[in-house]
Amino acid sequence: MALLIRNGEIVTGSSRFVADIWCEGETITTIARDIAAPAGAEVVEAAGKLVFPGFIDPHTHIHLPFMGTFAKDTYATATRAAVVGGTTTLFDMCCPSREEAPSDAFNSWKEKASGLACCDYAFHMGVTKFDGQTDAQLREIVAVGIGSFKIFLAYKGAFGIDDAELFQTLRLARELGVITAAHCENETLVAELQKQFVAEGKTGPEWHHASRPPRVEAEGVHHLMSFAEAADAPVYIVHLSCLEALEEALRGRLRGVDVRVETLIQYLVLDKSYAALPDFEGAKYVMSPPLRDKSNQPVLWNALRQGLIETVGTDHAPFDFATQKPMGREDFTKIPNGIPSVEDRISLLYTHGVRTGRIDLHTFVNIASTNAAKIFGLFPRKGTIQPGSDADLVVFDPDCRGRLGVAGQTSAVDYNVFEGWEIQGRASVVTVRGEIAARDGRFTGTPGRGRLLNTRRD
């Protein structure tokens, strides 16, 4: 493949300038002014547009068995949606049950993605138990290229691990040079509060937040900080939602804990009032940790601007409103958790972050691409624009206006929580390793061309 992107304003996490980008053999080979395109090369005219490194979603659940059902997307539909929205690399969570061997789960997730994924992808390897076989199997999984684990401190009797397993996981991660991503909520408090509310007849989706209040999340973060400090292990907090949890993470960081923090696009633009919508509409907005009081939004935006929170993901977990969310119509604890957003993250972050002045363009690139590449062992192959990097590029039209909604989306789920929301700014052309994979909201790439990435740090 030979591709020339001409006259665009290139924006990375640290620089901004107008130049041409010449891509050949799936990589960026030259960045200069007035590059002449050889015969047969594909040329994209980017004058008046911004050119970003391909965006990275550090947190998705594409294949997800959860609460007796499965997430609606496949690797084909979810990665098409990602690419259309400007995401060219994503990290999916491989989540075995406590009864499943890690190696079996890892092989299953690989088989479901291979030949279907339309963008490059990597896995966070879920650790949902730590028994006599786990140590050896995790070592084998890391040896073939997995550089991160995922643990849950939230789901009693399901994915959650106990304290001994937590410490063993962190100690192994430290030894292998692996970073551990953690869902932080106190599982006992969640279970007891859920039991209390259901017994009191408080069963609607509006009670989901009350069963997992900010202090429950903060206690989970505090717990992780204590164990990470004892194990001297690097950790990554996924989907942090509130001030109380952030304060606990920062206390750990001040003590010397190597901790990175992620928030989600949902927490930046939605609040808990959506989960209280009548006629069970609130179920569309049920996720864990829950959407919070709106007062947390400026806290999260400020933390992103100051570098206290490093990444913005989606926790993309699509469950149909018509057939799956109603599993919890009589009991909110049975509503499949998740909000689909992999397709809309970048336009929303630009519209509500850059256009409003909450963040600048360099912060935008860092939190949506560069920082994730650095944290998870992909930089500078991904996350920047320089010779030798993969030709993952987003030609972005800052003046494009549109509205989000289920009618125009690529994801297979039957609703969009941002229905009717106006955006200003959209990916115009998206390339995945030099191939034009999307144009103006339509997927144009080669199905199944995505590759499993090696994220292990040697």
Return all residues near 305 (Cβ < 8 A) that are at least 6 apart.
358, 359, 363
Inter-residue contact 426 to 442 (CB < 8 Å): no
* Domains of the chain by residue range: 2-52+390-443, 56-375
Q: Name the band, by pLDDT with cuts 50, 70 and 90, for residue 417.
A: very high
> How much is the mean pLDDT over the chain?
97
Q: In one letter, which amino acid is 43?
A: V
For residue 325, give the DSSP letter: G
pLDDT tens sequence across 174-195: 999 999 999 999 999 999 999 9
DSSP letters, 220-256, are HHHHHHHHHHHHT--EEE-S--SHHHHHHHHHHHHTT
Inter-residue contact 56 to 372 (CB < 8 Å): yes
Q: Name the band, by pLDDT with cuts 50, 70 and 90, for residue 157.
A: confident
* The pLDDT value given to residue 155: 85
- Angle at which helix 102-113 crosses helix 134-143, to 10 degrees, equals 30
* The pLDDT value given to residue 289: 98
Q: Is 101 exposed, middle or buried (0-12, 13-18, 19+ CB in 10 A)?
A: middle
Share of the chain above pLDDT 70, in %: 100
pLDDT mean over 303-331: 98
pLDDT tens sequence across 339-357: 999 999 999 999 999 999 9
pTM of the model: 0.98
Provide the CATH topology of domain 2-52+390-443: Urease, subunit C; domain 1 (2.30.40)
Residue 391 has pLDDT above 90, yes or no: yes
Q: Are strands 16-24 and 2-11 parallel, antiparallel or unpaired?
A: antiparallel
Residue 65 has pLDDT above 90, yes or no: no
CA atoms of 30 and 18, how far apart (whole Å): 13
Residue 158 has pLDDT above 90, yes or no: no
- Angle at which helix 134-143 crosses helix 163-176, to 10 degrees, equals 30
Q: Name the band, by pLDDT with cuts 50, 70 and 90, for residue 308.
A: very high
Residue 458 has pLDDT above 80, yes or no: no
Q: Using CA of residue 103, residue 106, residue 112, residue 116, what is the dihedral sign?
A: negative
pLDDT tens sequence across 196-243: 999 999 999 999 999 999 999 999 999 999 999 999 999 999 999 999
pLDDT tens sequence across 11-58: 999 999 999 999 999 999 999 999 999 899 999 999 999 999 999 999
pLDDT mean over 8-13: 98
H-state helical runs in 145-281 = 163-176, 187-199, 208-211, 214-231, 243-254, 265-269
* The pLDDT value given to residue 156: 77
Closest to 151 (Cα-Cα) out of 139, 140, 136, 164: 164
Rg (CA), the chain: 21
pLDDT tens sequence across 74-109: 999 999 999 999 999 999 999 998 899 999 999 999
Provide the CATH topology of domain 56-375: TIM Barrel (3.20.20)
Inter-residue contact 1 to 40 (CB < 8 Å): no
Q: Give, in degrees to the nearest 5, the angle at Cα 166 between 164 and 171.
A: 95
Closest to 449 (Cα-Cα) out of 125, 113, 147: 113
* The pLDDT value given to residue 189: 96
Among 150-164, 225-239, 355-369, the least confident range: 150-164
